[in-house]
Structure 1
Amino acid sequence: MSTDPNDKAAVEKRLWKELDDARFGMLGLMNAHQHFQPMTAFAEPEGGQVWFFTRDDTDLAKSASGGAEAMLIVQSKDQEFQACIGGVLSTARDTARIDKYWNPIVAAWFPDGKDDPALTLLRLDVRDAELWISKGGPVRFAWEVAKANLTDSPPDLGDKAHVKLA
């Protein structure tokens, strides 16, 4: 899927589509000296939010309880799209969203179900994103690398875009 990096609406639409398709990303706090962690993302483009289930005793939940700068790293399954999404991470006990996104995979982490006292949600209010959009998959990648080595010029592997989301 080709996306013009200068078309803000197209870039933003692609970001939300890829996040919804990938469903997983690496979430971490800025300046927290904690490693990023794999999390299942539930995107709400209309509100500029991404939601995650977690337990209230995790490092992320403890650090985000008052709001904290965070980043979510996402890569498409075909590896032709990568994004780093920045925003503010906070905790919430939102029963409507728990009901909306509850599924058998989430349930596996919470033996007491939706009423598990440790269940909490993390909400990422997105601010901006940096995106890398590759062209043509592995064949194009190999061609561009070979061409670059023969011509002493950098490979043309795609585009980079920055989009403000809030």
Structure 2
Amino acid sequence: MANLEKFHENPQKQLLEELQDAMCVMLGSTDEEEHMQPMTPQIDTDENVIYFYSDRFSELGKTIAVNPGTVHLCHISKDYQACVKGRLTAHHDKATIDKFWDQKVAAWYPEGKDDKELMMLKFVPHDAAIWASDANPLTFMYEMAKANIKHEEPELGEMKTVDL
């Protein structure tokens, strides 16, 4: 269950915490013809920036290399959802590659940190729409039954937009 107290007090911090725990998010492209794709976020909480290891020869990598810009990032879990808008650019800092490098990342790049396919993407969030719920399964069933009886929408959580 999402912590609604955090949702009200510091939704920006909660969003970064949620993304840090995410195995992957869906990341968009500046080319509207391309589909979003699953990517593993690397959260820099000091800068409030999200990095992604990518492939410079992939559709996304090639697009962002020549056309950086505004994209959407989507995160969905059982009780927390977010759509984040921000600027996505290629990022060429070796220190960033080193900072987040681990065995899971290494599995994708056989030649290591100097793999010719490796590129970093930098996502600077601008704003987000977020939804959170602290409803347990019993509350969910109750709210659904009540909504059907009273012909109204169930009360299962909250939504807000925030600047980041």
> How does the TM-score come out when normalised to structure 2?
0.91
In 1, Cα distance between the equivalents of 2:31 and 2:117? 26
Distance apart, 1:21 and its partner CA: 1.3
Match of 2:156? 157
Match of 1:111? 110
Count of aligned positions: 161
Taking the TM superposition and a 5 Å limit, the aligned residue runs for 1:31-70 are 32-65=32-65, 66-70=67-71
Taking the TM superposition and a 5 Å limit, the aligned residue runs for 1:72-151 are 72-76=73-77, 79-151=78-150
Distance apart, 1:31 and its partner CA: 5.2
In 2, Cα distance between the equivalents of 1:44 and 1:150? 47
In 2, Cα distance between the equivalents of 1:114 and 1:15? 29
Match of 1:14? 14
- % of aligned pairs identical? 35
Q: Which amino acid aligns with 2:105?
A: V
Alignment check: 8 A CA contact 2:68 2:88 kept: yes
The Cα offsets for residues 64-102 of structure 1, whole Å up to 9 and x where unpaired, read as: 1241211111123xx110001110101112211111111
Match of 1:2? 4
Alignment check: 8 A CA contact 2:30 2:68 kept: no
Alignment check: 8 A CA contact 1:3 1:14 kept: no
Runs of 4+ in 1 over 2 A off after TM superposition: none
CA RMSD between the two structures: 1.6
In 1, Cα distance between the equivalents of 2:138 and 2:31? 38
Q: Which amino acid aligns with 1:3?
A: E
Q: Which runs of 5+ in 2 are unaligned?
A: none
Q: Which amino acid aligns with 1:58?
A: S
SS of corresponding position for 2:84? strand
Alignment check: 8 A CA contact 1:3 1:133 kept: no
